[in-house]
Structure 1
Amino acid sequence: MANDLTTPLTGRKRKPGEKRHLPIARILFGLLILIGAGFALRLVLTDDPNGGRPSKEVAITSTRNGNSVANAVNNGPVTITADPQQYPAESSFTTVPVGTSPANSIAGLPDKFGALPDLSEETGDGSIPRISATGQTAFATYSRPAASAIASGMPMVAIIVTGLGINEQGSLEAIDQLPDDVTLAFAPYGKTLANTVAAARSTGHEVLLEIPLEPFDYPQNDPGPQTLLTGETPRSNLDKLFWLMARFGGYVGIINNMGARFTASATDFSPIMEEIGARGLGYIDDGSSNRSVASQLAGGNKVPYSRADLMIDANPSRQSILTALASLEAKALENGHAIGIVSALPISIAAISEWSRELQSKGIVLVPASALMK
């Protein structure tokens, strides 16, 4: 009898009593094929853009016709009655033609810094000052009026506070404490210059832009990014100047931050002063260097100019500041005018605020810096 192991599968006979095994794997495979074929036929034969997702049609009722104001605006002119308390019946409107202002011929509305469009030129870095088509300058437009003080014939003192704009809270506190006739100089690096400059100008202060100029010990003593340097091409320094000018607007002029080396170099300083004059700005020399040629260059370019007489808080103590202010008063009485520079330290701000209250009783009047610029 043949051995079961050697018997071919195709020819193997089932023994008596042996159970028949179903081909389960083949059956499952066949069912999968049938299910796939049915799904494919449904996709092909069924026109259902929603892919079988449930949907329901709902009527949408328009409410537009229920809004009488909307219908009136849509169909024709509508009359809106203003609040009678906002515009009283007896009041009148004054039409101000575009291109005019009380003292100047300026067009348009000011930007966030208070700069006027006719006195602004757009550049890749932002808006920078320019002389308007009618010849109006930023110096004349943004200067704080001081005609009555000048007409009084009294000795005049101007105070310039520098270094504002870096610390927003400190700058706003200084603006609140200082008399309106104090001139405020803002550094070009503050992140909130829109707020601080706008606050200063809204309270009546005139403002200056500080620009960093190369000192003799640069870069050990670095006045900040975009410092104008000796030995660089005029185009390079002018590009830096335009970047600095675009940090904010509404300023009457420029004051140097350091710059003993740069202000002593007529070759490097001349194109800068020429540009300052061409843009209708003034220039204040902080008086820190006796080698500065700013006076000669300003005169040659018809730039309103003045030089500070004294650094008030070189020694930032109350007594030293008051002593320096007394010296500034003496200069004003002797020469008829004097300019003092003070940093934005809280002790300096408090001393200036207190000192200014008694100034007029001494026969001296406080004026903005522009009043003492030629």
Structure 2
Amino acid sequence: MANDLSTPLTSRKRKPSSGKPRSFPLARVLLGVIVLAVGGFVARLMLVDDPDGGRPSEEVSITSTRNGNALANDVATGPVTITADPQQYPAGEAPLTPLTPTASTGDPYAALPDFSEETANGPIPRISTTGETPFKTYSTPLATPLAPGKPAIAIIVTGLGINEQGSLDAIDQLPQAVTLAFAPYGKTLQSTVSSARSSGHEVLLEVPLEPFDYPQNDPGPQTLLTGEQPRANLDKLFWLMARFGGYVGLINNMGARFTASAADFSPVMEELGSRGLGYVDDGSSNRSLAPQLAAGNKVPFTRADLVIDTNPARTPILAALGSLEAKALQNGSAIGIVSALPISVQSVAEWSRELEAKGITLVPISALMK
């Protein structure tokens, strides 16, 4: 007892109490959970074929032409109904009948076999085995050669082919010497183009080229773009060229940025030269390198002088045509571009009836291409 009283309090040892509960083994539980989680992850990697590891993903095409032109895209990929202004396309008029191919020869105004090269997208123009070019073969010959010193005018109507009936109306109303340019998106393009050629019209293919404000301003699917590999743009070009046959050359649809880029435009112009096709610059961009590139690749070329229907009403259109006459009288020739709006077509048809009396000849575009 005495020893107990003399022993320091700090040195006393307590005996464990048998009634006190043991502490919960939290560390062991956490270790077990971690082992299970790691084991489950390893098992998933070994048993499930998922290279993304379960991450959310979405497939996006990197070969898209990045087009935002809904109307042209719909027409290019499936049937579409285009509702026109009833004052522009009056109801009740008898539809024109396009050229019907014969069973034995097919469409006589489609591309000629000797001037066609088969591709994955269809036939595209080429120089024949005898050295003849599509430009020369599909050009509309003049009824009478141009007299020396007599001024000439060529008119190109653009935007045809998407509205079939509107295109057939234009073919019917316009004189044969007017050149018709077809967009590459209509569903009945070949039959409509055949109707144009059977009526004596010369035909161009519109090719969509990148403008400066692309894609806010979008020419349509398969637009040729700056900065892409030349092979990618040529693949698009071949798709466009295969939409129909029988054209003498191409005309740009927009393209201020593309035609100013030698690196992007040069392969296209080289291809046109090697295939014997012409090129018409619509004159919308002063930075276009088309004249130089066409000359370097021996591509028949010309450039438009004036857009006729910037104000699509009869009086301003006739006034613009008067300005075109003045240019022809001054320079010997002039080229005007007009859209396929009914008012534009009607105004050009009316104006053309008096042209010969003024000493000016209306000619297809090939007659003014060098």
TM-score, normalisation: structure 2? 0.71
1:271 aligned partner: 267
2:311 counterpart of 1:315: yes
- In structure 1, what residue type is equivalent to 2:363? V
Q: Could you tell me whether the CA contact under 8 Å between 1:188 and 1:211 is conserved in 2?
A: yes
Q: What are the equivalent positions in structure 2 for 1:295-314 lying under 5 Å apart?
A: 295-314=291-310
1:347 aligned partner: 343
CA drift at 1:150: 1.8
Q: Secondary structure at the match of 1:299?
A: helix
Distance 1:254 1:147 in 2: 24
1:367 aligned partner: 363
Which residue of 139, 156, 159 maps to 1:160? 156
Q: Could you tell me whether the CA contact under 8 Å between 1:149 and 1:365 is conserved in 2?
A: no
2:251 aligned partner: 255
Distance 1:252 1:230 in 2: 25
Q: What are the equivalent positions in structure 2 for 1:12-23 lying under 5 Å apart?
A: none
Distance 1:229 1:112 in 2: 35
CA drift at 1:114: 2.2
1:292 aligned partner: 288
1:124 aligned partner: 120
CA drift at 1:154: 1.2
- In structure 1, what residue type is equivalent to 2:245? G
Q: Could you tell me whether the CA contact under 8 Å between 2:110 and 2:244 is conserved in 1?
A: no
Percent identity of paired positions between Structure 1 and Structure 2: 76
Q: Secondary structure at the match of 1:122?
A: strand
1:138 aligned partner: 134
2:175 counterpart of 1:174: no
Q: What is the RMSD of the two structures over their aligned residues, measured on CA atoms? A: 1.3
Q: What are the equivalent positions in structure 2 for 1:104-253 lying under 5 Å apart?
A: 111=107, 113-146=109-142, 148-151=144-147, 153-253=149-249
CA drift at 1:149: 3.9
Q: What are the equivalent positions in structure 2 for 1:52-67 lying under 5 Å apart?
A: none
CA drift at 1:151: 3.4
Higher RCO, Cα 8 Å, sep 6+ = 2
CA drift at 1:110: 6.9
Distance 1:233 1:186 in 2: 27
Distance 2:151 2:277 in 1: 25
1:102 aligned partner: none
Distance 2:361 2:338 in 1: 18
Once the two structures are superposed, residues 104-136 of structure 1 have per-residue CA deviations (whole angstroms, 9 ceiling, x without a partner) of xxxx96756421100000000000000001100
Q: Secondary structure at the match of 1:179?
A: coil
Q: Secondary structure at the match of 1:260?
A: coil
Distance 2:324 2:147 in 1: 21
2:320 aligned partner: 324
Q: 1:147 to 1:300 in 2, by over 3 A?
A: farther
Distance 2:183 2:293 in 1: 23
Give 1 or 2 for the bigger CA radius of gyration: 1
Q: 1:286 to 1:211 in 2, by over 3 A?
A: same
Q: Could you tell me whether the CA contact under 8 Å between 2:158 and 2:337 is conserved in 1?
A: yes
The farther-off stretch of 140-149 and 162-171 is 140-149
Tell me the matched-pair count.
Answer: 267
Q: What are the equivalent positions in structure 2 for 1:68-79 lying under 5 Å apart?
A: none
Q: Secondary structure at the match of 1:287?
A: coil
TM-score, normalisation: structure 1? 0.70
CA drift at 1:194: 1.9
Q: 1:110 to 1:128 in 2, by over 3 A?
A: farther
CA drift at 1:153: 3.7
Q: What are the equivalent positions in structure 2 for 1:71-90 lying under 5 Å apart?
A: none
1:13 aligned partner: none
CA drift at 1:147: 6.4
2:83 aligned partner: none
Once the two structures are superposed, residues 187-213 of structure 1 have per-residue CA deviations (whole angstroms, 9 ceiling, x without a partner) of 000001022101000011010000000
Q: 1:239 to 1:371 in 2, by over 3 A?
A: same
Q: Could you tell me whether the CA contact under 8 Å between 1:201 and 1:207 is conserved in 2?
A: yes
Q: Secondary structure at the match of 1:340?
A: strand
2:337 counterpart of 1:338: no
